[in-house]
């Protein structure tokens, strides 16, 4: 076997860039005659009417595929931020404060820290009392 033939054998199982890694044959293949009867249909996306200054009011646009951060918190950490922990009532967002001066003033008024905590220096690996167990003098017997 030549070097070029050896390289061809090595490269053959490598998939092409941006290609599908799973190929379906038979019943699940893309061109199977009765595939529609076997594979479940895609769920329809809810339609939202988005009206802006340059869009037609009758034009419907599908919703985004992103999940809101509130739903992600509920799904991952089982935290429902839309319910008040004290009265179990529904919470509405009435404002989003982004001005750093206002945020600092509110935090100081509530006696909460208004500055970020000091970063700690990085530490090295732990030191063992046994020394280096892979040192050469352990193997010189």
What is this structure's pTM?
0.31
% of the chain at pLDDT higher than 90: 11
CB neighbour list of residue 132: distance below 8 Å, 6 or more residues apart:
none
> Do 54 and 44 contact (CB within 8 A), yes or no?
no
Residue 33 forms part of a structural domain: yes
31 lies in which domain range?
22-109
Handedness of CA 72, 78, 83, 84 (dihedral sign): negative
**How far, in Å, CA of 83 to CA of 69, rounded?**
15
Ranges of residues in the chain whose predicted pLDDT is under 50: 49, 57-62
- Number of domains observed in the structure of the chain: 1
pLDDT at 116: 86
Residue 119 forms part of a structural domain: no
* Burial of 131 from C-beta contacts in 10 A (0-12 / 13-18 / 19+): exposed
pLDDT at 59: 47
Residue 121 forms part of a structural domain: no
pLDDT tens digit string along 116-135? 888 888 888 777 666 666 66
């Amino acid at each position: 076997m030549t070097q070029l033939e050896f390289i061809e054998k090595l490269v053959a199982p490598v998939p092409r860039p941006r290609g599908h890694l799973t190929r379906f044959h038979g019943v699940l293949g893309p061109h199977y005659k009765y595939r529609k009867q076997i594979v479940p249909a895609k769920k329809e996306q809810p339609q939202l009417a988005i009206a802006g200054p340059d869009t037609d009011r009758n034009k419907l646009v599908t919703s985004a595929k992103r999940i809101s951060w509130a739903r992600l918190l509920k799904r991952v950490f089982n935290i429902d931020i839309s319910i008040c922990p004290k009265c179990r009532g529904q919470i509405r967002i009435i404002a989003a404060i982004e001005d750093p001066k206002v945020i600092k003033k509110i935090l100081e008024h509530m006696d909460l820290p208004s500055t970020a905590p000091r970063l700690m220096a990085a530490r090295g690996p732990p030191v063992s009392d046994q020394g280096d167990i892979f040192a050469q003098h352990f193997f010189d017997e």
